[in-house]
Structure 1
Amino acid sequence: MPSRTITVHHVRAMLHGAERQGIDTVPLLRTAQIPPLLLGDDRARITEVQFARLFRELYRATGDEFLGLGAAVSRPGTFAMMCHASLGCRDLGAAMERGVTFYGLFPGGPDLTLEHRDTGSAVFAVRNDLEHDYFLAECLVIIWHRLCSWLIGRRIPLHWAEFGHPPPPHKDEYGLLFGCPVRFGAARTGAGFDEHWLSAPLIRDEAALEGMLERAPFDLLSRREYGTTVAEQVRRALARALRTSPRLPSLGEIAARLAVSPATLRRRLAQESTSYQQLKDAVRRDAAIAGLAEGTEPIADLAARLGFSEDTAFHRAFRRWTGTTPGAYRYENRGYEIRGYENRGQQS
């Protein structure tokens, strides 16, 4: 299944901490094989592989689990110790409370809260007013949601997610990222879910935790399993079909596979802030970007494999998705990668 691509807005946000520390981020981008010129285009996107490389380079360069984005440094190993401290709890609610208490011990750490509502819902939120940007708060909510889902072995459906900033240019990304309705301009960043999940028992042991920590936190940022949303089921079906045929199934065919009516499928996707057409475009876009950034397949062959009858149609779609042409995108990625290797060779 083609990996998702990531908007350049998140790349810029992730670099802010290192830039504030005076770290030259160009070598880090070079190692991650991300052309710096892409950062100037609001519609540009990178692959998850490139994003993971950059995350690891920033982690190494800053020596901070928060990548320099927080008010204080979170030393490497802090997240792991929080996980070990929470693993022995009787249920998810106790584990979350222990994690909130754990991070509350560090001066300048994030102000995490777990609230119980009279309506039978619970809210996990980051109350810290992160003065630099909101990327860290968003990442903390994502990581906590997916860590909690991992601990109980089931994806916890979110009722809503809210963010303490105005709608950004990439606001349409959020519904798919969190799998629920989203709102902006709130007093904090957080997410709501059914309170009954707090009584779910933890099913993971120390061995499983060690395996997860080897890939954390990026694995938690990119993970989308444990039950899954309707949008993810549709996306998975589309991506699976694209591997074997350029013709993607229709909405009616997908609905039949999920044993629902087309109208029900449309309604459920709308509840998750997306649509069948958006998912179909996203699957083709992500496959195109991955093919151009990491492969050598001729552009005409790639266009045909993705279901475009003419090269011109593929070029128009790719420009609409990214603001550039397939040829220019490949040149920047492959050309910069080659120049990066040459530069490293000259330095060695």
Structure 2
Amino acid sequence: MSRLTITMHHVRAALSGARRLGIDIVPLLQCAQIPPLLLGDDRARVTPEQFTRLVKALHHATDDEFLGLGPTPSRRGTFAMMCHACLGCRDLGSALDRAARFYGLFPGGPEMACETVTAGDGSVEAVFSVCNDLRRYEEGNFLSECVLIIGHRLASWLIGRRIPLRWARFAYPAPAHAHEYDILFGCPVRFGAERTAAGWDARWLAAPVVRDEAALAGMLRRAPADLLSRRDYGTTVAEQVRRTLVQALRTERPARLPEAGEVAARLAVSPATLRRRLQAEGTSYQRLKDTVRRDAAITSLVAGQEPIADLAARIGFSEDTAFHRAFRRWTGTTPGTYRLNGHAADSADRPERADRPD
């Protein structure tokens, strides 16, 4: 299945704390099988698996669950103890309150809060926010985004249900990669807000906590790196279109991505309505189609086993040359070069792994 790839901006942001601490980042990239040459290419992307490996390597290198990004380190194990504390709560609202109070015991870290407010339409919303201003720290914006993402996805995990976000707001101007945020958060986003926060229906706060310690142990083996991976929650029209396209890539043989009119019919709207809704979300059918193909191609090239000609046919290109042109437009390089760089990173990592004690 095609999975959402991650922009190089987030890779650089995650590495910035290690750079500031004087840690050599090349071994970290090699451990994650991310070619160091890609760092300078704004169009390059990595798979969720690569990003997960990088975050885990950063945890060990910095000995800090905040990856060296915050004013003070958070010792490894702090997040796990917070999660253990939340398991004893009867519902999500009390669990989030306990999580905020838990991190409040450690000075210098992100301050969190979850409160209920009445929205403009009269409904009651739960607002999870980062209360302190982290902008004065290098990549503080990225750290606040991570806190927001992990807080929301941990909340969903605790109750065993996907909580759809209504909105997300950020206390800084829109960055160059602002178009990534609607996919990252799966909701309308706004920059230049008073506080970095996200809102959802307050009724979710009454949902019971259903996880136990056995489930927590499994989650912690992948956290928080897995929680940072981008998820498709299907709460926007763009996500629904993307899911339809991904499903077509998995099932259609020979490969054929549906036209915009076919997708509109599946979503029970007219083509014009679909076009307007996607435009309102800052995207288009063609852009989503390119994104699905791009992510599928990058995932395959990183794995390094599928012949490029077979890959091109599988994602719907009738000619290899058309695939090469499209991939260069998406990433600034050719499929062969992208795969070669990935293999070089993997090869460079192998001697280090062989020498590492068990």
Q: TM-score scaled to structure 2, two decimals?
A: 0.89
Moved more, 82-91 or 41-50: 82-91
Partner of 2:287: 278
- CA 1:116/1:76 → structure 2, altered by over 3 Å: closer, same or farther? same
State the SS of the aligned residue for 2:197. strand
Matched, 1:45 2:49: no
State the Cα distance separating 1:271 from its structure 2 match.
5.6
Matched, 1:254 2:254: no
The residue identity in structure 1 corresponding to 2:350 is Y
- CA 1:267/1:72 → structure 2, altered by over 3 Å: closer, same or farther? same
Q: Deviations over 1:232-276 (max 9, x none)?
A: 343233222213432112233334444455455445545654443
1:180, 1:273 within 8 Å by CA — same for their partners in 2? no
Partner of 2:184: 177
Partner of 1:301: 310
Partner of 1:310: 319
1:181, 1:273 within 8 Å by CA — same for their partners in 2? no
Partner of 2:214: 207
- CA 1:96/1:347 → structure 2, altered by over 3 Å: closer, same or farther? closer
State the SS of the aligned residue for 2:58. helix
- CA 1:97/1:263 → structure 2, altered by over 3 Å: closer, same or farther? farther
The residue identity in structure 1 corresponding to 2:127 is V
State the SS of the aligned residue for 2:118. coil
Q: Deviations over 1:40-90 (max 9, x none)?
A: 011111111211111111111111111111111111111111112122222
The residue identity in structure 1 corresponding to 2:327 is F
State the Cα distance separating 1:16 from its structure 2 match.
0.8
Separation in structure 1 between the aligned mates of residue 153 and residue 275 of structure 2, nearest angstrom: 26
Q: Deviations over 1:297-329 (max 9, x none)?
A: 332332222212222321221122111222221
Match of residue 160, structure 2, among 153, 159, 167: 153
2:304, 2:343 within 8 Å by CA — same for their partners in 1? no
Q: How many residues end up aligned between the 2 structures?
A: 348
1:80, 1:213 within 8 Å by CA — same for their partners in 2? yes
- The gaps in structure 1 that reach 5 residues or longer are none
Partner of 1:123: 127
Separation in structure 2 between the aligned mates of residue 126 and residue 214 of structure 1, nearest angstrom: 25
State the SS of the aligned residue for 1:125. strand
1:87, 1:202 within 8 Å by CA — same for their partners in 2? yes
Moved more, 105-114 or 162-171: 162-171
Partner of 1:336: 345
1:155, 1:227 within 8 Å by CA — same for their partners in 2? no
Separation in structure 2 between the aligned mates of residue 229 and residue 129 of structure 1, nearest angstrom: 29
Partner of 1:320: 329
Separation in structure 2 between the aligned mates of residue 343 and residue 73 of structure 1, nearest angstrom: 27
- CA 1:42/1:209 → structure 2, altered by over 3 Å: closer, same or farther? same
State the Cα distance separating 1:23 from its structure 2 match.
0.7
Separation in structure 2 between the aligned mates of residue 340 and residue 150 of structure 1, nearest angstrom: 34
State the Cα distance separating 1:222 from its structure 2 match.
2.2
- Superposed, which structure 2 residues align to 1:2-17 within 5 Å? 2-17=2-17
Separation in structure 2 between the aligned mates of residue 129 and residue 191 of structure 1, nearest angstrom: 16
Partner of 2:143: 136
Separation in structure 1 between the aligned mates of residue 273 and residue 160 of structure 2, nearest angstrom: 27
State the Cα distance separating 1:341 from its structure 2 match.
2.8
User: What do you get for the CA RMSD once the two structures are aligned?
Assistant: 2.3
State the Cα distance separating 1:229 from its structure 2 match.
4.7
State the Cα distance separating 1:336 from its structure 2 match.
3.1
Separation in structure 2 between the aligned mates of residue 228 and residue 153 of structure 1, nearest angstrom: 17
The residue identity in structure 1 corresponding to 2:42 is D
1:66, 1:136 within 8 Å by CA — same for their partners in 2? yes
The residue identity in structure 2 corresponding to 1:286 is D
2:43, 2:331 within 8 Å by CA — same for their partners in 1? yes
2:4, 2:231 within 8 Å by CA — same for their partners in 1? no
The residue identity in structure 1 corresponding to 2:181 is Y
- Superposed, which structure 2 residues align to 1:28-67 within 5 Å? 28-67=28-67
